[in-house]
């Protein structure tokens, strides 16, 4: 027992200072992602943002023309400067993902369906807001939902990581705490006018402890789970937003 005492003291001392407490960074939003930094869009906004222009926007009673399909423009349809913060593994919309959107919007009256904006319609223009509205117009969509996903991740040690010194602990001791957060953000635009009719968000933050030897596997699981839950949250938010927009469009003018 006396021979083990120095080793146990070393483990206890190491454990006391082994934990790390780095904070998970905030996922960048639409503004930091650059969605509204296209020179043409920014110039139009600057011209409109006079006191008189702001008053006109507040007084404008823009209502969607119904019935209509909704154009979906995901971050992956935008140029590299817009998709730098996209979620890992984010790709072209699959048939399964499209069915999920169709299923979510199906109960909303006057919404006939959804149509993803194809890169073929954007060509060399590479997807400014005006270009996305033009693509939506070509598909006869009065509404276009523009969205992107952003993520952040971090890996900290907890006190149990001191047992990594035993080497076997790398496989047996959950001494790493992995965190992953995915945020979806989007805006619903009136295709004809470019007016923002509303915004929607989806968020998921997950944290798991795991042995270091399985860190890559755990991180991969967190990415998939957080992305899926954030997307489901975002889709539900979009359903509420679109329902409100349709209700307003069909209500008698005030």
pLDDT averaged per 10 residues in sequence order, the chain, 254 residues = 38 49 62 50 55 59 86 62 37 78 94 87 68 90 91 82 77 83 91 90 90 82 89 95 92 76
pTM: 0.74
pLDDT for the residue numbered 159? 77
For 233, other C-beta atoms within 10 Å of its C-beta total 18
pLDDT for the residue numbered 44? 58
Residue 40 has which token pair?
A: 């043409």
pLDDT for the residue numbered 117? 87
Buried b (16+ CB within 10 A) or exposed e, 136-149: beebebbbbbbbbb
Q: Which among 153, 176, 157, 37 is positioned nearest to 89, based on CA atoms? A: 153
pLDDT for the residue numbered 161? 76
List domains and CATH numbers for the chain: 27-52+62-150+182-202+237-250 (3.40.50)
pLDDT for the residue numbered 46? 54
pLDDT for the residue numbered 76? 43
The answer to whether 125 and 138 are in contact (CB under 8 A) is no
Give the whole-angstrom CA distance, residue 166 versus residue 145. 53
């Amino acid at each position: 027992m006396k021979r083990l005492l120095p080793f146990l003291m070393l483990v206890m001392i190491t454990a006391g200072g082994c934990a790390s407490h780095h904070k998970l960074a905030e996922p960048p939003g639409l503004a930091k992602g650059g969605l509204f930094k296209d020179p043409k869009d920014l110039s139009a906004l600057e011209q409109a943002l006079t006191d008189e222009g702001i008053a006109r926007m507040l007084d404008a009673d823009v209502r969607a023309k119904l019935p209509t399909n909704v154009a979906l423009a995901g971050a992956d349809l935008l140029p590299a400067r817009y998709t730098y913060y996209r979620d890992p593994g984010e790709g072209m919309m699959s048939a399964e993902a499209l069915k999920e959107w169709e299923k979510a919007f199906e109960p909303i009256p006057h919404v006939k369906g959804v149509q993803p904006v194809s890169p073929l319609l954007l060509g060399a223009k590479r997807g400014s807001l005006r270009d996305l509205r033009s693509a939506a117009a070509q598909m006869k969509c009065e509404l276009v939902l523009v969205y992107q996903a952003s993520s952040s991740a971090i890996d900290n040690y907890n006190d149990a990581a001191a047992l990594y010194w035993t080497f076997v602990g790398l496989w047996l001791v959950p001494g790493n705490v992995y965190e992953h957060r995915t945020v979806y953000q989007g805006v619903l635009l009136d295709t004809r006018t470019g007016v923002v009719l509303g915004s929607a968000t989806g968020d998921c933050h997950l944290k798991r402890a795991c042995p270091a030897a399985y860190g890559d596997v755990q991180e991969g699981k967190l990415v998939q789970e957080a992305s899926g839950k954030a997307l489901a949250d975002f889709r539900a938010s979009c359903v509420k937003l679109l329902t409100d927009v349709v209700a307003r469009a069909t209500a008698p003018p005030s």
